[in-house]
Amino acid sequence: MYLTAEKKQEIFKQFGGNAANTGSTEGQIALFTFRIKHLTEHVIRSKKDKSTQRALVRLVGKRRRLLDYLKDRDIVKYRELIKELGIRK
């Protein structure tokens, strides 16, 4: 499995402050980014997998809404997070 519990805790620890803070906006965006990268690789290999393509588009939309929320609340954190995750905007 590509996303283990340990990997999730590591992501939330790095971006959310601590491993127990799973609801933080930054942690959620980082987790979505990790999942998007994995799904993108899968979609490139399996071009006819339409259900995964749809899931990927929905996940990108969720991340976009969270990024917009973070941008409205704290522009400095938004810029730092985008730079650290390598998200283009």
CATH assignment of the domain containing 54? 1.10.287.10
How far is Cα of residue 37 from the mean position of the Cα atoms in its chain?
Answer: 9
Q: Which range marks the domain in which residue 16 is found? A: 5-85
For residues 57 and 46, the answer to whether their CB atoms sit within 8 Å is no
- Name the range with the highest mean pLDDT among 3-7, 17-21, 58-62: 58-62
Q: Which residue has the tokens 């990108």?
A: 60
Q: What was the pLDDT predicted at 44? A: 96
For the chain, the domain total comes to 1
Read off the pLDDT of residues 30-86 as tens digits, 9 standing for 90 and up: 999 999 999 999 999 999 999 999 999 999 999 999 999 999 999 999 999 999 999
Q: Angle between the 75-85 and 25-45 helix axes, to the nearest 10 degrees? A: 30
